[in-house]
Amino acid sequence: MGGVTSLARRDRPPAPRRPAGPFGSSIRLFSVAGIDIAVHASWILIAILVTWSLATGVFPATVPGASTATYWLLGAVTALLFFASVLAHELAHSLVARSRGVEVSSITLFLFGGVSNLTAEARAPGEEFQIAIVGPLTSFAIALLAFLVALAVRGNTAAQAIAGYLAFINAALGVFNLVPGFPLDGGRVLRSVLWRTLHDLSRATRIATTIGQLVAWAMIASGVWLVLTGDIIGGVWTAAIGWFLETAAGSSLQHAVLETRLRRLRVSDVLRQDPSGVTADTAVDDLIDRWVLPGARRAVAVVEDGRIAGLVTLADIARVPPDRRSWTRVWSIMTPGERLVTVAPGTTLQAAIAALGSGEYEQVPVVDGGRFVGLLTRADVLRELQIRDALGLDEKGQIGQTGAAEAPRP
Protein backbone atom coordinates (compact mmCIF):
# COMPACT_ATOMS: atom_id res chain seq x y z
CA MET A 1 0.00 0.00 0.00
CA GLY A 2 1.20 3.53 -0.62
CA GLY A 3 0.03 7.05 -1.09
CA VAL A 4 -0.89 7.91 2.47
CA THR A 5 0.07 11.43 3.48
CA SER A 6 0.38 12.54 7.05
CA LEU A 7 0.72 15.73 9.00
CA ALA A 8 3.97 15.30 10.76
CA ARG A 9 3.24 14.69 14.44
CA ARG A 10 0.67 17.48 14.72
CA ASP A 11 -0.96 16.00 17.83
CA ARG A 12 1.59 17.58 20.24
CA PRO A 13 1.18 20.06 18.43
CA PRO A 14 4.87 19.84 17.61
CA ALA A 15 7.40 20.55 15.02
CA PRO A 16 8.18 17.76 12.60
CA ARG A 17 10.98 15.54 13.80
CA ARG A 18 12.99 13.88 11.12
CA PRO A 19 12.85 11.19 10.10
CA ALA A 20 10.56 9.53 12.63
CA GLY A 21 7.29 10.60 11.03
CA PRO A 22 4.09 9.17 12.45
CA PHE A 23 5.43 5.65 13.06
CA GLY A 24 7.96 6.21 15.79
CA SER A 25 11.68 5.76 15.38
CA SER A 26 12.87 5.00 11.86
CA ILE A 27 16.21 4.48 10.17
CA ARG A 28 17.30 7.23 7.81
CA LEU A 29 18.71 5.86 4.55
CA PHE A 30 19.42 8.91 2.38
CA SER A 31 17.77 12.08 1.13
CA VAL A 32 16.30 13.08 -2.22
CA ALA A 33 15.93 16.77 -3.04
CA GLY A 34 16.38 17.54 0.64
CA ILE A 35 13.68 15.07 1.75
CA ASP A 36 14.82 12.42 4.23
CA ILE A 37 14.03 8.85 3.18
CA ALA A 38 13.64 6.44 6.09
CA VAL A 39 12.45 2.90 6.75
CA HIS A 40 10.48 1.79 9.76
CA ALA A 41 11.43 -1.53 11.38
CA SER A 42 8.17 -3.04 10.11
CA TRP A 43 9.37 -2.53 6.52
CA ILE A 44 11.99 -5.24 7.02
CA LEU A 45 9.24 -7.74 7.79
CA ILE A 46 7.23 -6.97 4.67
CA ALA A 47 10.40 -6.96 2.52
CA ILE A 48 11.17 -10.47 3.73
CA LEU A 49 7.57 -11.61 3.16
CA VAL A 50 7.44 -10.18 -0.38
CA THR A 51 10.79 -11.77 -1.25
CA TRP A 52 9.63 -15.10 0.18
CA SER A 53 6.31 -15.09 -1.70
CA LEU A 54 8.04 -14.24 -4.97
CA ALA A 55 10.81 -16.82 -4.50
CA THR A 56 8.50 -19.66 -3.51
CA GLY A 57 5.35 -18.89 -5.47
CA VAL A 58 5.56 -16.45 -8.36
CA PHE A 59 8.91 -17.16 -9.98
CA PRO A 60 8.84 -20.99 -9.81
CA ALA A 61 5.64 -20.74 -11.87
CA THR A 62 6.83 -18.08 -14.33
CA VAL A 63 10.50 -19.04 -14.63
CA PRO A 64 10.49 -22.87 -14.54
CA GLY A 65 13.69 -24.88 -14.23
CA ALA A 66 15.79 -22.33 -12.34
CA SER A 67 17.63 -23.06 -9.12
CA THR A 68 16.33 -22.18 -5.67
CA ALA A 69 19.09 -19.60 -5.27
CA THR A 70 18.04 -17.96 -8.55
CA TYR A 71 14.43 -17.73 -7.38
CA TRP A 72 15.51 -16.04 -4.15
CA LEU A 73 17.77 -13.64 -6.05
CA LEU A 74 14.94 -12.74 -8.43
CA GLY A 75 12.62 -12.31 -5.46
CA ALA A 76 15.01 -9.98 -3.64
CA VAL A 77 15.67 -7.86 -6.76
CA THR A 78 11.95 -7.59 -7.54
CA ALA A 79 11.10 -6.69 -3.94
CA LEU A 80 13.65 -3.86 -4.03
CA LEU A 81 12.27 -2.62 -7.36
CA PHE A 82 8.76 -2.73 -5.93
CA PHE A 83 9.71 -0.63 -2.95
CA ALA A 84 11.55 1.73 -5.30
CA SER A 85 8.19 2.08 -7.05
CA VAL A 86 6.49 2.88 -3.73
CA LEU A 87 9.20 5.45 -3.04
CA ALA A 88 8.64 7.01 -6.49
CA HIS A 89 4.91 7.19 -5.68
CA GLU A 90 5.62 9.03 -2.42
CA LEU A 91 8.25 11.28 -3.98
CA ALA A 92 5.67 12.37 -6.55
CA HIS A 93 3.36 13.44 -3.69
CA SER A 94 6.19 15.19 -1.89
CA LEU A 95 7.63 17.08 -4.85
CA VAL A 96 4.24 18.32 -5.99
CA ALA A 97 3.42 19.33 -2.41
CA ARG A 98 6.66 21.25 -2.15
CA SER A 99 6.02 22.97 -5.49
CA ARG A 100 2.71 24.16 -4.03
CA GLY A 101 4.37 25.59 -0.92
CA VAL A 102 3.63 22.65 1.41
CA GLU A 103 6.84 21.53 3.07
CA VAL A 104 7.65 17.82 3.44
CA SER A 105 9.63 16.63 6.45
CA SER A 106 10.35 13.05 5.32
CA ILE A 107 9.15 9.92 3.57
CA THR A 108 8.90 6.72 5.58
CA LEU A 109 8.58 3.20 4.16
CA PHE A 110 6.75 0.95 6.60
CA LEU A 111 4.73 -2.25 6.88
CA PHE A 112 1.90 -1.19 4.54
CA GLY A 113 3.94 0.74 1.99
CA GLY A 114 4.93 4.38 2.34
CA VAL A 115 3.86 7.71 3.78
CA SER A 116 4.81 11.30 2.98
CA ASN A 117 5.00 13.38 6.14
CA LEU A 118 3.69 16.85 5.29
CA THR A 119 4.09 19.72 7.74
CA ALA A 120 0.71 21.28 6.86
CA GLU A 121 -2.51 20.70 4.98
CA ALA A 122 -3.01 21.96 1.43
CA ARG A 123 -4.36 25.50 1.41
CA ALA A 124 -6.87 25.09 -1.41
CA PRO A 125 -8.94 22.28 -3.02
CA GLY A 126 -6.88 22.46 -6.20
CA GLU A 127 -3.64 21.94 -4.29
CA GLU A 128 -5.15 18.98 -2.41
CA PHE A 129 -6.30 17.39 -5.68
CA GLN A 130 -2.93 17.81 -7.39
CA ILE A 131 -0.93 16.49 -4.44
CA ALA A 132 -3.22 13.47 -4.07
CA ILE A 133 -3.75 12.44 -7.70
CA VAL A 134 -0.09 12.49 -8.71
CA GLY A 135 0.66 9.39 -6.60
CA PRO A 136 -1.69 6.97 -8.41
CA LEU A 137 -0.75 8.54 -11.75
CA THR A 138 2.90 7.80 -10.98
CA SER A 139 2.07 4.18 -10.12
CA PHE A 140 0.13 3.80 -13.39
CA ALA A 141 3.05 5.32 -15.32
CA ILE A 142 5.47 2.85 -13.72
CA ALA A 143 3.04 0.01 -14.51
CA LEU A 144 2.89 1.07 -18.17
CA LEU A 145 6.68 1.35 -18.38
CA ALA A 146 7.11 -2.10 -16.79
CA PHE A 147 4.54 -3.57 -19.20
CA LEU A 148 6.44 -2.15 -22.18
CA VAL A 149 9.69 -3.59 -20.81
CA ALA A 150 8.00 -7.00 -20.42
CA LEU A 151 7.01 -6.87 -24.10
CA ALA A 152 10.53 -5.85 -25.12
CA VAL A 153 12.28 -8.73 -23.29
CA ARG A 154 10.05 -11.63 -24.29
CA GLY A 155 13.05 -13.84 -24.93
CA ASN A 156 14.30 -13.48 -21.36
CA THR A 157 11.86 -15.24 -19.06
CA ALA A 158 13.43 -13.91 -15.83
CA ALA A 159 13.41 -10.27 -16.96
CA GLN A 160 9.92 -10.66 -18.38
CA ALA A 161 8.67 -12.16 -15.11
CA ILE A 162 10.14 -9.29 -13.07
CA ALA A 163 8.73 -6.63 -15.39
CA GLY A 164 5.36 -8.37 -15.55
CA TYR A 165 5.08 -8.52 -11.78
CA LEU A 166 6.05 -4.84 -11.44
CA ALA A 167 3.45 -3.89 -14.05
CA PHE A 168 0.74 -5.80 -12.17
CA ILE A 169 1.64 -4.67 -8.65
CA ASN A 170 1.98 -0.99 -9.60
CA ALA A 171 -1.33 -1.04 -11.45
CA ALA A 172 -2.92 -2.65 -8.38
CA LEU A 173 -1.27 -0.04 -6.15
CA GLY A 174 -2.66 2.77 -8.27
CA VAL A 175 -6.17 1.31 -8.31
CA PHE A 176 -6.18 0.62 -4.56
CA ASN A 177 -5.07 4.15 -3.75
CA LEU A 178 -7.93 5.58 -5.82
CA VAL A 179 -10.46 3.94 -3.48
CA PRO A 180 -12.40 6.98 -2.14
CA GLY A 181 -11.50 6.34 1.48
CA PHE A 182 -9.59 8.94 3.47
CA PRO A 183 -6.59 9.08 4.00
CA LEU A 184 -5.87 7.12 0.81
CA ASP A 185 -5.15 9.21 -2.26
CA GLY A 186 -8.65 8.58 -3.54
CA GLY A 187 -10.07 9.82 -0.25
CA ARG A 188 -8.02 13.00 -0.54
CA VAL A 189 -9.20 13.46 -4.12
CA LEU A 190 -12.77 13.04 -2.85
CA ARG A 191 -12.11 15.55 -0.05
CA SER A 192 -10.76 18.08 -2.53
CA VAL A 193 -13.94 17.77 -4.64
CA LEU A 194 -16.15 18.08 -1.55
CA TRP A 195 -14.07 21.01 -0.33
CA ARG A 196 -14.54 22.77 -3.67
CA THR A 197 -18.27 22.03 -3.64
CA LEU A 198 -19.09 22.71 0.01
CA HIS A 199 -16.51 25.46 0.65
CA ASP A 200 -15.96 23.86 4.06
CA LEU A 201 -12.76 21.90 4.73
CA SER A 202 -13.93 20.52 8.09
CA ARG A 203 -17.19 19.17 6.67
CA ALA A 204 -15.41 17.75 3.61
CA THR A 205 -12.90 16.03 5.90
CA ARG A 206 -15.66 14.50 8.04
CA ILE A 207 -17.47 13.09 4.99
CA ALA A 208 -14.27 11.72 3.41
CA THR A 209 -13.18 10.28 6.76
CA THR A 210 -16.54 8.57 7.31
CA ILE A 211 -16.29 6.95 3.88
CA GLY A 212 -12.71 5.93 4.68
CA GLN A 213 -13.84 4.28 7.90
CA LEU A 214 -16.62 2.42 6.05
CA VAL A 215 -14.03 1.16 3.54
CA ALA A 216 -11.78 0.13 6.41
CA TRP A 217 -14.54 -1.81 8.20
CA ALA A 218 -15.48 -3.48 4.91
CA MET A 219 -11.87 -4.64 4.54
CA ILE A 220 -11.80 -5.89 8.13
CA ALA A 221 -15.04 -7.84 7.53
CA SER A 222 -13.63 -9.25 4.28
CA GLY A 223 -10.49 -10.29 6.12
CA VAL A 224 -12.49 -12.12 8.77
CA TRP A 225 -14.53 -13.86 6.06
CA LEU A 226 -11.33 -14.95 4.25
CA VAL A 227 -9.94 -16.40 7.50
CA LEU A 228 -13.17 -18.33 8.12
CA THR A 229 -13.06 -19.74 4.58
CA GLY A 230 -9.48 -20.96 4.96
CA ASP A 231 -7.37 -18.15 3.51
CA ILE A 232 -5.68 -17.29 6.78
CA ILE A 233 -2.73 -15.28 5.43
CA GLY A 234 -4.83 -13.29 2.95
CA GLY A 235 -7.52 -12.69 5.55
CA VAL A 236 -5.16 -11.50 8.24
CA TRP A 237 -3.38 -9.21 5.77
CA THR A 238 -6.64 -7.71 4.48
CA ALA A 239 -7.95 -7.16 8.01
CA ALA A 240 -4.63 -5.59 9.08
CA ILE A 241 -4.77 -3.09 6.21
CA GLY A 242 -8.38 -2.32 7.13
CA TRP A 243 -7.41 -1.75 10.75
CA PHE A 244 -4.60 0.58 9.69
CA LEU A 245 -6.92 2.59 7.44
CA GLU A 246 -9.54 2.91 10.18
CA THR A 247 -6.94 4.16 12.66
CA ALA A 248 -5.39 6.51 10.10
CA ALA A 249 -8.79 7.92 9.14
CA GLY A 250 -9.63 8.80 12.74
CA SER A 251 -6.20 10.32 13.29
CA SER A 252 -6.47 12.34 10.09
CA LEU A 253 -9.80 13.81 11.20
CA GLN A 254 -8.24 14.90 14.48
CA HIS A 255 -5.33 16.44 12.61
CA ALA A 256 -7.66 18.32 10.28
CA VAL A 257 -9.72 19.71 13.17
CA LEU A 258 -6.56 20.81 14.97
CA GLU A 259 -5.13 22.32 11.78
CA THR A 260 -8.32 24.37 11.31
CA ARG A 261 -8.09 25.71 14.85
CA LEU A 262 -4.41 26.57 14.52
CA ARG A 263 -5.10 28.38 11.25
CA ARG A 264 -7.89 30.55 12.70
CA LEU A 265 -6.52 31.33 16.15
CA ARG A 266 -3.89 34.04 16.53
CA VAL A 267 -0.86 34.30 18.79
CA SER A 268 -2.65 37.12 20.64
CA ASP A 269 -5.45 34.67 21.56
CA VAL A 270 -2.97 32.53 23.49
CA LEU A 271 -0.07 34.74 24.57
CA ARG A 272 0.32 35.77 28.19
CA GLN A 273 1.94 39.13 27.65
CA ASP A 274 5.06 39.67 29.76
CA PRO A 275 7.60 42.07 28.27
CA SER A 276 9.95 41.75 31.24
CA GLY A 277 13.41 40.22 30.94
CA VAL A 278 16.96 40.34 32.18
CA THR A 279 19.82 42.45 30.92
CA ALA A 280 22.74 40.92 29.10
CA ASP A 281 25.18 41.65 31.96
CA THR A 282 23.09 39.78 34.57
CA ALA A 283 25.07 37.09 36.38
CA VAL A 284 23.85 33.54 35.80
CA ASP A 285 23.31 32.84 39.51
CA ASP A 286 21.14 36.00 39.76
CA LEU A 287 19.22 34.81 36.73
CA ILE A 288 18.52 31.51 38.49
CA ASP A 289 17.63 33.01 41.89
CA ARG A 290 15.50 35.93 40.70
CA TRP A 291 13.92 34.63 37.48
CA VAL A 292 14.17 30.90 36.78
CA LEU A 293 13.25 29.44 40.18
CA PRO A 294 10.62 31.97 41.39
CA GLY A 295 8.79 31.93 38.06
CA ALA A 296 9.45 28.26 37.18
CA ARG A 297 10.72 29.53 33.83
CA ARG A 298 12.38 27.33 31.25
CA ALA A 299 13.51 30.35 29.25
CA VAL A 300 14.08 34.03 29.99
CA ALA A 301 14.21 36.85 27.47
CA VAL A 302 17.15 39.20 27.40
CA VAL A 303 15.69 42.68 26.86
CA GLU A 304 17.41 45.97 26.08
CA ASP A 305 15.32 49.18 25.72
CA GLY A 306 12.17 47.12 25.21
CA ARG A 307 13.64 45.07 22.37
CA ILE A 308 14.58 41.40 22.36
CA ALA A 309 18.37 41.13 22.59
CA GLY A 310 18.57 37.40 23.17
CA LEU A 311 17.13 34.34 24.84
CA VAL A 312 18.64 32.15 27.54
CA THR A 313 17.23 28.70 28.29
CA LEU A 314 17.69 26.05 30.96
CA ALA A 315 19.94 24.14 28.57
CA ASP A 316 22.16 27.23 28.22
CA ILE A 317 22.35 27.63 32.00
CA ALA A 318 23.05 23.94 32.60
CA ARG A 319 26.20 24.18 30.49
CA VAL A 320 27.72 26.62 32.99
CA PRO A 321 29.42 24.82 35.93
CA PRO A 322 27.89 25.86 39.30
CA ASP A 323 31.19 27.35 40.53
CA ARG A 324 31.29 29.73 37.54
CA ARG A 325 27.73 31.02 37.65
CA SER A 326 28.47 33.95 39.99
CA TRP A 327 30.73 35.66 37.47
CA THR A 328 29.45 34.27 34.13
CA ARG A 329 27.21 36.81 32.38
CA VAL A 330 24.06 36.09 30.43
CA TRP A 331 25.46 37.64 27.23
CA SER A 332 28.07 34.87 27.02
CA ILE A 333 25.56 32.01 27.00
CA MET A 334 22.40 33.47 25.38
CA THR A 335 21.22 33.02 21.81
CA PRO A 336 21.62 36.49 20.25
CA GLY A 337 18.50 38.28 19.06
CA GLU A 338 19.57 38.26 15.41
CA ARG A 339 19.54 34.46 15.49
CA LEU A 340 16.08 34.15 17.02
CA VAL A 341 12.93 33.27 15.11
CA THR A 342 10.14 35.65 16.18
CA VAL A 343 6.41 35.99 15.51
CA ALA A 344 3.91 38.85 15.76
CA PRO A 345 0.69 38.91 17.86
CA GLY A 346 -1.37 38.68 14.67
CA THR A 347 0.46 35.58 13.41
CA THR A 348 -1.73 32.48 13.12
CA LEU A 349 -1.02 29.68 15.57
CA GLN A 350 -0.37 27.46 12.56
CA ALA A 351 2.49 29.74 11.49
CA ALA A 352 3.68 30.07 15.09
CA ILE A 353 3.85 26.28 15.45
CA ALA A 354 5.88 26.19 12.22
CA ALA A 355 8.23 28.77 13.75
CA LEU A 356 8.60 26.62 16.85
CA GLY A 357 9.25 23.66 14.62
CA SER A 358 11.90 25.38 12.51
CA GLY A 359 14.43 24.62 15.24
CA GLU A 360 12.34 22.35 17.48
CA TYR A 361 12.07 25.22 19.97
CA GLU A 362 9.96 25.10 23.11
CA GLN A 363 9.26 28.85 22.98
CA VAL A 364 9.39 31.69 20.48
CA PRO A 365 9.60 35.46 21.20
CA VAL A 366 6.60 37.59 20.20
CA VAL A 367 7.48 41.03 18.83
CA ASP A 368 5.01 43.82 18.09
CA GLY A 369 6.34 46.77 16.12
CA GLY A 370 9.89 45.89 17.10
CA ARG A 371 9.11 45.71 20.82
CA PHE A 372 9.18 42.46 22.81
CA VAL A 373 5.78 41.57 24.32
CA GLY A 374 6.31 38.02 25.62
CA LEU A 375 7.26 34.40 24.95
CA LEU A 376 4.87 31.98 23.26
CA THR A 377 5.46 28.40 24.42
CA ARG A 378 4.21 25.04 23.31
CA ALA A 379 2.57 24.70 26.71
CA ASP A 380 0.58 27.91 26.07
CA VAL A 381 -0.83 26.50 22.84
CA LEU A 382 -1.68 23.14 24.36
CA ARG A 383 -3.31 24.75 27.39
CA GLU A 384 -5.49 26.99 25.21
CA LEU A 385 -6.64 24.09 23.04
CA GLN A 386 -7.38 21.92 26.07
CA ILE A 387 -9.47 24.66 27.70
CA ARG A 388 -11.43 25.30 24.50
CA ASP A 389 -11.90 21.57 24.09
CA ALA A 390 -13.19 21.13 27.64
CA LEU A 391 -15.60 24.08 27.31
CA GLY A 392 -16.83 23.04 23.86
CA LEU A 393 -15.69 26.33 22.33
CA ASP A 394 -14.91 26.80 18.69
CA GLU A 395 -11.89 28.76 17.47
CA LYS A 396 -13.81 32.06 17.85
CA GLY A 397 -14.47 31.43 21.53
CA GLN A 398 -18.16 30.63 21.01
CA ILE A 399 -20.12 27.49 21.73
CA GLY A 400 -19.57 25.24 18.74
CA GLN A 401 -20.35 21.77 17.50
CA THR A 402 -16.75 20.62 17.73
CA GLY A 403 -16.61 19.22 21.21
CA ALA A 404 -14.18 17.03 23.05
CA ALA A 405 -14.74 14.11 20.73
CA GLU A 406 -13.35 16.05 17.78
CA ALA A 407 -10.49 18.03 19.20
CA PRO A 408 -7.37 15.92 19.80
CA ARG A 409 -6.06 15.82 23.31
CA PRO A 410 -2.29 16.25 23.44
The CATH number assigned to the domain holding 358 equals 3.10.580.10
Q: 275 and 296: one domain?
A: yes
Q: 248 and 278: one domain?
A: no
Structure confidence by residue, pLDDT tens digits, 364-388: 899 988 899 888 888 877 777 777 7
| Domain C-terminal end among 213, 233, 264 | 264
Q: 38 and 106: one domain?
A: yes
> Which of 395 and 248 is assigned the larger pLDDT?
248
Q: How many domains does the chain have?
A: 2
Q: 13 and 135: one domain?
A: yes
Q: 275 and 234: one domain?
A: no
| Domain C-terminal end among 264, 284, 314 | 264
207-211 average pLDDT score:
87
Burial of 147 (0-12, 13-18, 19+ CB in 10 A): middle
Helix axes 232-264, 201-228, angle to 10 degrees: 170
Helix (H) or strand (E) holding 23: none
Catalytic residue, from 90, 121, 127, 259: name it: 90
Predicted local distance difference test score (pLDDT) of residue 203 = 84
Q: Is the pLDDT of residue 65 over 50?
A: yes
Q: What is the C-alpha to C-alpha distance for residues 214 and 172, in angstroms, rounded to an integer?
A: 21
| pLDDT band (50, 70, 90) for residue 247 | confident
Q: 77 and 197: one domain?
A: yes
Q: 330 and 258: one domain?
A: no
Catalytic site residue 90? Answer: yes
Q: 149 and 245: one domain?
A: yes
Predicted local distance difference test score (pLDDT) of residue 47 = 83
Whole domain around residue 260: which residue ranges?
Answer: 4-264
- B/e letters for 217-242, b = 16+ CB within 10 Å, e = fewer, are eebbebbeebbeeeeeeebebbbebb
- B/e letters for 116-138, b = 16+ CB within 10 Å, e = fewer, are bbbbbbbeebebbbbbbbbbbeb
Q: 219 and 305: one domain?
A: no
167-176 average pLDDT score:
92
- Percentage of residues in the chain having pLDDT higher than 70: 83
Strand order of the β-sheet with 307-313 is: 299-304, 307-313, 335-336
157-166 average pLDDT score:
91
Q: 98 and 189: one domain?
A: yes
Largest distance between two CA atoms of the chain: 84
Predicted local distance difference test score (pLDDT) of residue 215 = 87
170-194 average pLDDT score:
88
228-241 average pLDDT score:
83
In a domain, 317, yes or no: yes
Structure confidence by residue, pLDDT tens digits, 295-324: 888 889 999 888 988 999 888 999 999 999
Q: Is the pLDDT of residue 21 over 50?
A: no
Predicted local distance difference test score (pLDDT) of residue 73 = 93
Could you tell me which residues are beta bridge partners of residue 39?
27, 109
Q: Which of 262, 265, 269 is nearest to 121 (CA)?
A: 262
Predicted local distance difference test score (pLDDT) of residue 399 = 35
Predicted local distance difference test score (pLDDT) of residue 111 = 64
Predicted local distance difference test score (pLDDT) of residue 396 = 47
In a domain, 398, yes or no: no
8 A C-beta contact, residue 89 and residue 176: no
Asked whether the whole model's pTM tops 0.75, one would answer no
17-46 average pLDDT score:
68
In a domain, 404, yes or no: no
229-253 average pLDDT score:
80
Q: 165 and 207: one domain?
A: yes
- Percentage of residues in the chain having pLDDT higher than 90: 21
Predicted local distance difference test score (pLDDT) of residue 20 = 40
| Domain C-terminal end among 236, 264, 292 | 264
